[in-house]
Amino acid sequence: MDILQAIVLVIGAVFLVLGYRKTHRNYMLAGALVMVAALATPDFIRGFKKGYGEALEAHQAGSP
C-alpha cells in the first residue's frame, strides 16, 4: 500500500511540475487532486472498513 501511495504522489508531482512549466492550469489541478487523493484515500478506507465492521458486528449481535 505504501509503494502505491508513493507512486501516486510522484505522478501528482509530475503533473504539478508539467502544469507549472507549460502554464497548463488543468495539469496543475489534476496533479493537486491526485496528490490529495493519494494522501486522503488510505485513511478513508481504513475508517470505512472499521465502521462497516462495527456495524456488521452490531447487526449480527441483534442490536438495533
Structure confidence by residue, pLDDT tens digits, 18-60: 998 988 899 999 999 999 988 888 888 899 999 999 998 988 8
Could you give the number of structural domains in the chain? Answer: 1
C-alpha to C-alpha distance for 7 and 4, rounded to whole angstroms: 5
Where helices occur in 1-64 by DSSP H, the ranges are 2-21, 25-61
Residue 29 belongs to what domain range?
2-61
pTM for the full predicted model: 0.63
Helix (H, G, I), strand (E, B) or coil at 62: coil
C-alpha to C-alpha distance for 61 and 53, rounded to whole angstroms: 12
Q: Please report the pLDDT score of residue 2 as a whole number.
A: 79
C-alpha to C-alpha distance for 34 and 32, rounded to whole angstroms: 5
